[in-house]
Structure 1
Amino acid sequence: MTEATSDHMAVPGTHLGSRAEYAARKLQQLAEQAEPGEHLGTKVALRALCGVSVGTFNEAVKLAQSRGFVVSRSGPGGGIFAAERSPIARLGNSVLALDGSATSVADAVRMRDALDPLLVDDALWHSSATDIRTMRECLQEMATARDSGDAVAFVHANWALHRRIAEVSPSAILRSVYVSLLELIQAHTRGVGGTETQPLPEYVAARYLLHERLVDAIEARDQAEARRLIHEHNNTETAR
């Protein structure tokens, strides 16, 4: 039996990325119900529980680890363990697992959101063809991370796009404050997870489309559309 056939029997109607996401969410659920450091099971037992192939399960473990929910250990007594609890901060309809103060990161996110409209306005009138090309390169990195199911890489590419937009502003003070906020958020983020209301792949796909349209609006000097999009970006649960 091939890997693809095995996985389709376990999770009908899904492709490889979503099968790995399905297994990663199963591991996340087990970890959330366990004590920090608790042994969740061997890889063989957990793979059987998830009903996926070896390759897909290994990808699922990488996803769950990148989001800060599990730890994989090899050797005697090894297996998959619930990770130590981390502070968390909300970012739209996703959750950031942090290595520091959740309050500080949440404050930085709020301040960043407040500055976004100013920076988008500056980008509308000051972006060069080179600036737009660089923004689209950031979008390509976001698309690559989206397609590979790497939520952490996607969020970092997303922040790189926001930084590039900020760098267009002629205001040195505005640029400096905004970039400092992004660096604080990025420095303390160790994982990204979805929520009960929206799985992470759906959130990532929606957020990519919104940022693609935002860059389109900046290139077209469409102020009304750009302002609408950045308002949606900061005021809905699907697009931060």
Structure 2
Amino acid sequence: MKRYRGLIVDLDGVVWREGKPIQENVEALRILHETGAKIVFLTNNSTRSRRLYSQLLTSILGFNVKPEDVVTSAYAAAKWLKENMGTSKVYVVGEEGLVEELLREGHAVVTLTEARSCRADVVVVGLDRNLTYKKLLIAHTLIKWCGKPYIATNIDATVPMENADMPGAGAILAALEKSTGRKPVYVTGKPDPWIVEIAMLQLKLDKKEVLLVGDRLDTDIKAAVKLGIDSLLVYTGVARPQDVAKSSIKPTYQAKNLLEGIRLLKLA
């Protein structure tokens, strides 16, 4: 059986669901940490910054998780924007985590008044649970009538909850695509492999030594397949066994939860 020295672990549907820790998976992560495995957390959720995610993970897991041990789609968006368009004036459809990561990379976040006057270079779209029609209208106007490009943090249609789900950033993105007739110039989150490559750089390991753990076929597992790394699909979030049977995207391994998975793979 392969021995993996590093893991890239999703958050929503793996570490927690609707903010509530998934105990079997938390226990597995503690065991992996004790065995010396390197762990980087990777999430498409842009609502919190890496700083806040690291604090929350440290509290839940009981071991120190540094901000650099977390890669978010918000951080990836801020980084991609700086590398490809330079420091920019940004209109944000999103929450505090996205704003914080953009500011940390040197971008300026424009006000509603500035945005109404087309005084933004780019629109960045993420999950926004405080979305209003006014906010959507300004983004629509910037993209369609001011000719501004836009990027998105992810295409997740839903976010898992305890016994259901809720609309994700992909639902907001779909509204803008429909109203403007334009697609984003880039989507930074999974399944794009670039965000996984950022996590790989943090691990400093060869691909064959890394296992990606996720709960979604269309983002987590698809990203792993694109990058050529092994994956473990856990059934604690979105995907179910019947989804795997119907999908062309296949994980390397699958398990009821992460604890079962690490026992299956003899990682503990």
Higher helix share: 1
Higher strand share: 2
Which structure has the greater CA radius of gyration? 1
Structure 2 length normalisation: TM-score? 0.26
Structure 1 length normalisation: TM-score? 0.28
